[in-house]
Amino acid sequence: MMYAPLHQSWPQFSRSIAALMAELGLDKLNLPIDHTALRVNTVQAADSLRSEFEQRGKIISNNIINGRPILIIELDTPLRLNDNPIDCVELPYPGNKAYPQEGWEHVELVFNCNAEDCESLSQQLINVVPSLAAVIAGKTDITVKMSSPKGDKERLANPTIAFKKHGLCVKVHPHGIKAVIASET
C-alpha cells in the first residue's frame, strides 16, 4: 500500500463517506471531521505509509492502543471532505485481524458534548438527530458498535459510536484527537 493509490482513492472514499453521513443525518450538524483512518494488513505496508506520511506531515502521537501501535499524523496540507478540512490521519499497525480491503476505512466526527460513556453519547446524539434512535436500536442495515478505546496514557474519556455500512465507517465521539493526545501529558 503506497501513498499514490491512497491519494487517488480519496475522492471516491470521501463521496461515499459523505453519503453515509447524510444517510445518518449527521451532515446537518456540521461536525468537525477530526481525522480519517487507514487499514493495512502488513507491518511493511504500515512502515511504508509511515515513511511517506512523514514527508507530508508530522507524527503527533505514537501510542499503543489495544496492544498495537497507532500513529496520528498531522498533515501539512489537510485532506478535504466537501468543505471540511481533515488535518490528521490515523495509521494503525496491523493486529490479529486481516482486512478484506486495505486503504481508507473511516472518519471520526467530534460531537461536542459532555458524554463520558456510550449511553450518554448515544442519548445526546438522538436528541439532536432523532432518526438515529432506530439506527442505534439496530433496526436498520447500518451496524452500530459502541466502545471506549483508550491509549495507555490517555486520561480523557472519549466514548465512541461507530456506524458501519458496506465497508465504510463513520465514528462519533465528544473529544477531538488532539485533545485526547493533550490529555496524555
> Could you give the count of Cα atoms lying within 13 Å of 91 in the half-sphere of its Cβ?
30
**Distances from the Cα of 3 to the Cαs of 50, 58, 75, 150, in angstroms?**
10, 15, 13, 28
| Domain around 84 | 3-182
In sign, the C-alpha dihedral spanning 116, 119, 122, 126 is negative
State how far the Cα of 102 lies from the Cα of 75, in Å rounded to an integer: 20
Q: CATH number of the domain that 104 lies in?
A: 3.10.180.10
Residue 140, Cβ density class (10 Å: 0-12 exposed, 13-18 middle, ≥19 buried): middle
- Report the number of distinct structural domains present in the chain: 1
For 8-49, the pLDDT digits (tens) are 999 999 999 999 999 999 999 999 999 999 999 999 999 999
| pLDDT tens for each residue of the chain, 185 residues long | 566 788 899 999 999 999 999 999 999 999 999 999 999 999 999 999 999 999 999 999 998 877 889 999 999 999 999 889 999 999 999 988 888 888 999 999 999 999 989 999 999 999 999 999 999 999 999 999 998 765 555 566 789 999 999 989 999 999 988 888 887 76
pTM above 0.75, yes or no: yes
The number of helix segments (H) and strand segments (E) in the chain equals 5, 8
Q: C-alpha cell of 107?
A: 472518519
- Determine the residue type at 166: H
Asked if 33 contacts 109 with a C-beta cutoff of 8 angstroms, the reply is: yes
Q: What percent of the chain has pLDDT over 90?
A: 74
pLDDT at 23: 97
